[in-house]
Amino acid sequence: MNRRAIFLLAVIVIAISVVAIIAVLYMEMMKNRKKKMVRPVYKDSKNDFLFNCYVFFNRFSITRRYLNRIRQRIEMLDMSDNWTISRKTMRFAFISTSSVLGMLVLLLLLNLDLYYFLVSLVTVIVVHNQLISLLIDGIENKLLAQFEKFLGDVRHHYHEHGMIDEAVYDSINDCKYEMALHANKMYEVLSSNDPEAELEKYNEMAPNKFFKTFLANCYTVQKFGDKIINEDSMFLSNLNYLKQEINMEMLRRKKLDYLFNSLAIIALAPIFTLKPLEMWGVSNLPDTAKYFEGAYGFVVQIVMFAMVILSYKLINVLKRDYKFNSSDDDLFSKILKIPFVRDFISILKNKNYTKTIRYQNLMKTIGSNERVEHFYVRRIAYMIVALIVSVFVFINVHSITRHKILYNSDQLINAENQAEVEAEKEILKMDREIILKFRRKKPVYKDIKNAVIEYGTIKDNTLAETAAKRIKDKLEKYQKEHFKWWELLISLSVAMVCYNIPYWFMVFRKKVLQMNMEDEVMQFHAIILMLMHIERITVEDILRWMEQFAVIFKDSISKCVNNFENGDIEALEQLKIDEPFLPFARIVENLQSASDKIPIERAFDQIKIERGYYQDKRKMDNETIVNKKGLMGKAIAFLPLIATIVFYLAIPFLIVSLVQLMNYSDQLTSGF
């Protein structure tokens, strides 16, 4: 009760602090308004609550780093001014932090134990990251819908005068604010003196592959000229292909959002049900209290929280085809500045250089720009944390068991009235003092009996013998509760498993990305359709364009481009060996045909027919892949819930019921 009072007091203090900060900000805002300060750039920027909050929290290093992590993700999609991005960053920060703080308070109200606080903290951090991702996804989906409309506007204006840069410029006024910023930047690229260099700069900050493809199409046609093919404009045909890609992507995202929408709640549900289930179980079957309050309950809770966090991350990987690499780089860079850490990582990296190269290639495949040294630091951090947590769990299990021996008993749980409770507490007090007296010794039965008699509560010799026997059994159990060598081995095994978790996550992400190989091949088809009718285009040019837009096949294409000067046919043959995926292999075979002096347009003359086939096949594959991801997500999401019911409810009830059944059976047997 005292701990609960302290916790509630802490919550009140935090609430008062937050109110005080808001009051200070509001007073500053009113003060600035009264002074009618000159606004340097944007109207009402000094009187805006969110902008003032951003400026205030940006003064402190911890909050500044947190806000910058959110801001970096917004800036990838939103090219607006500093004031708008700052307000949006602060709004997202307020939504996410208030939500997770409310969740943390709710979790702590359920249980105030230290370990529960730690796992609750980890859980709300995971939820916070997920919430930020959902908010960012909202911006991206909105931008994608605006871009789809923008393509229609460009098509309309191009029909009017046949000039690409002017069509883009004329479409800006028809766009909403977010898309207008990107459209304006695209116009600047197309109308610049060095569009190729500007195009390269834009590709580094483009929000997705569709924006890159559109601008590449505009630049290519503007540079080499449009052509009429089968009575259709090459540029407008490419716009149609791109629009089909966007519509398919939007439908895919909507279905994924629908399938995964409730899975997050299902995955998180167990952490809210542990305490209510415990209270319900104890009220219906008091004997289960020794399991919930003992070592068993502690271990199950730790395992359950680990399962919840793991399930949440796996669901996140399944839902998203990309990974935003948020900036743990600064932290890892600081850790690597420590001399012995840097030397150890260097030895670890060079000891098995083949593995290091494999890790680097795997990180490139999944689109991660993390340094391999940081990857090793991450693995070691997982291992150290897992070792510490495992040792702590075992030590705490022994501590809980010893506490249970000293302060609890079946008779106390099953006491029917207050008199029985008080009597049992007196017995436990005597047992506890005698056990603590002999805990570091090896007393014989006689020593314990003498201690019982000396305690003075029991005078009868028979009762003293019974008490001595009971205390001796308790003492033996108490002395056995210590950290054992095999528990250290288990902890080391858990640490080694956790050491490999970052690698397994990358492998899992690669498997998920491989489900989207067909999408990337269709992206290559779109690029080839843009380039194949240009007379001066070469096979190497097509490969470089493919390399720029590739994700899954990027490493293999880069290797092919590097080896191209040493022999184009050999380089392409090696590319086909490196990537045996059949639709991609067919593209490579067409490139090989083009290398044999066959015109590129003829080498890819079947691509429209194949594209139509793959377009239909892709719709079916997308449906299959999305459903497959949904089924996997459901299995992962329901796993913690099933485990909670089995381990935290069914097993304790089953064990207690079996024990009671055996006791009744013994009583019936002895009665006869």
State both tokens at 158: 């191009």
Q: What residues contact 37, with CB distance under 8 A and at least 6 apart?
A: 46
* Claim to verify: residue 17 and residue 157 sit in the same structural domain: no
Q: Is residue 94 part of a domain?
A: yes
Q: Is residue 269 part of a domain?
A: no
Q: What is the mean pLDDT of each run of 10 residues along the chain (672 residues)?
A: 48 50 49 40 57 82 79 71 78 80 71 64 72 78 88 89 88 85 88 85 79 85 80 82 83 83 79 79 81 81 83 80 52 82 87 85 75 88 90 87 84 75 85 87 85 81 84 88 88 92 85 74 78 79 83 84 85 87 86 78 73 70 80 89 87 85 78 54
Q: Is residue 665 part of a domain?
A: no
* pLDDT at res. 497: 92
CA–CA gap between residue 146 and residue 140 (Å, rounded)? 10
Domain that residue 78 falls in: 1-110
* Claim to verify: residue 336 and residue 441 sit in the same structural domain: yes
Three-state DSSP at 294 gives: coil
State both tokens at 36: 């009618």
Q: Is residue 463 part of a domain?
A: yes
* Claim to verify: residue 132 and residue 106 sit in the same structural domain: no
Are residues 74 and 136 in contact, defined by beta-carbon separation less than 8 angstroms?
A: yes
Q: What residues contact 154, with CB distance under 8 A and at least 6 apart?
A: 167, 168, 171, 239
pTM: 0.69
* Claim to verify: residue 435 and residue 466 sit in the same structural domain: yes
Q: Is residue 305 part of a domain?
A: no
* pLDDT at res. 327: 45
* Claim to verify: residue 105 and residue 132 sit in the same structural domain: no
* Claim to verify: residue 204 and residue 353 sit in the same structural domain: no
* Claim to verify: residue 401 and residue 485 sit in the same structural domain: yes
HSE at residue 479, side-chain half, CA atoms within 13 A, is 15
CA–CA gap between residue 173 and residue 149 (Å, rounded)? 12
Backbone angles phi, psi at 535, to 5 degrees: -65, -35
State both tokens at 619: 């719709």
- Number of Cβ within 10 Å of residue 364's Cβ equals 14
* Claim to verify: residue 340 and residue 434 sit in the same structural domain: yes
| Cα radius of gyration rounded to whole Å, the chain | 33
HSE at residue 161, side-chain half, CA atoms within 13 A, is 11
Q: Is residue 22 part of a domain?
A: yes
* Claim to verify: residue 333 and residue 478 sit in the same structural domain: yes
* pLDDT at res. 609: 67
CA dihedral 445, 447, 450, 452 (to 10 degrees): -70
* Claim to verify: residue 101 and residue 139 sit in the same structural domain: no
Domain count, the chain: 3
Domain limit, last residue, from 482, 515, 548: 515
CA–CA gap between residue 235 and residue 426 (Å, rounded)? 91
Domain limit, last residue, from 84, 110, 136: 110
State both tokens at 602: 């003829």
Using a 10 angstrom Cβ sphere, with 0-12 exposed, 13-18 middle and 19 or more buried, the burial of residue 236 is middle
- Number of Cβ within 10 Å of residue 14's Cβ equals 12
CA–CA gap between residue 217 and residue 239 (Å, rounded)? 8
What average pLDDT is seen over the chain? 79
* Claim to verify: residue 246 and residue 358 sit in the same structural domain: no
Q: Is residue 267 part of a domain?
A: no
Q: Which helix (H) or strand (E) holds 60?
A: none
Q: Is residue 161 part of a domain?
A: yes
* pLDDT at res. 118: 66
* Claim to verify: residue 73 and residue 138 sit in the same structural domain: no
CA nearest to 52, candidates 13, 83, 79 = 83
* pLDDT at res. 41: 40
Domain limit, last residue, from 222, 252, 282: 252
